[in-house]
Amino acid sequence: MAGAASIAAAPTRWRQRLLPLLLAYSAGSMLAAAFLGMLPRAYQSLSPMAAGATVLLGLGLMFLIERYSRWHHCHDSDCGQRRQSGRLILVGDAFHNFVDGVVIAAAFLTSPAVGVATTLAVIAHEVPQEMGDYAVLVESGLGRWQALLWNLLSALSTLPGALLGYYLLAEAKSLIPYALAISAASFLYIAFGDLLPRIHGNSDRKSRLGQYAMLVLGMLTIAAIRLGHA
């Protein structure tokens, strides 16, 4: 939230340059967390068929959430055209943050390395997301401090999600591999369906190189965490 607020308060030209880099880093970290942390752990405990089916189920679940509750990850003021009210943004983000809490709990119950990598990937994604939501809330009529407060309250839904996920999954450890597979599906859905398409349209060669470097940096960050705890 502090990072999102500081970015939102920055001059417009800085935000326009920084946002694509943040999106690329977020995509890289989420892809690496899914492929290097969550999916390998899920496949260790589940049969390939069960793990693959769970990932497909998770992708379908993400699509249904986006389709029928109009929840979508937004990163700039264009989201106002897709979401007609600030209230809908807050409800959608509160649900998303609750799910993030469950994802983080499942990752830490698997191993500290997976937990740290997953948390970093979530944080990397939340900064540009909260920046965009903050801008939309201000455009919907809220003052700057009001928008920041309501954004903070929706972000706090991560805590009950983490606590609920921790205690439920700790009592039923057989569910952890399925939770990891669904979590990986959500990361893949966000990265491939939202983040990467948003940075593909940039035709400036220097900008493309910077975005690719940040994409790789996001992957290497998660890889370094995994190797450090191997």
Range from 10-14, 76-80, 171-175 carrying the lowest mean pLDDT: 76-80
Report the distance separating Cα 219 and Cα 230, nearest Å. 16
Q: pLDDT tens digit string along 23-62?
A: 888 888 889 988 988 899 889 889 999 999 999 999 998 8
pLDDT band at 197 (very low <50, low <70, confident <90, very high): confident
Quote the CA–CA distance of 227 and 111 in Å, as a whole number. 13
Band (74; pLDDT cuts 50, 70, 90):
low
- Whether the CB-CB separation of 222 and 117 falls below 8 Å is answered with yes
Comparing 4 with 104, which gets the higher pLDDT? 104
Residue 85 has pLDDT above 50, yes or no: no
pLDDT band at residue 209 under the 50/70/90 scheme: confident
When pLDDT is averaged across residues 161-179 and rounded to a whole number, the result is: 87
Q: Assess whether pLDDT exceeds 80 at residue 81.
A: no
Q: Average pLDDT in the 91-115 region? A: 84
Please indicate whether residue 47 or residue 194 has the higher confidence score (pLDDT): 47
Checking if the pLDDT of 107 tops 80, the result is yes
Look at residues 163, 174, 36, 170 and name the one whose alpha carbon lies nearest to residue 109.
170
Q: Using an 8 Å Cβ cutoff, are 90 and 150 in contact? A: yes
Query: What is the percent of the chain where pLDDT is above 90?
Result: 14
Winning range, highest mean pLDDT, from 29-33, 47-51, 139-143, 204-208: 47-51
Give 149's contacts (C-beta < 8 A, 6+ positions apart): none
Round to whole Å and give the CA distance between 100 and 116: 13
* pLDDT band for position 68 (cuts 50, 70, 90): low
pTM: 0.73
The residue-averaged pLDDT of 150-162 equals 87
Confirm if 223 and 34 have CB atoms less than 8 A apart.
Answer: no
pLDDT at 176: 85
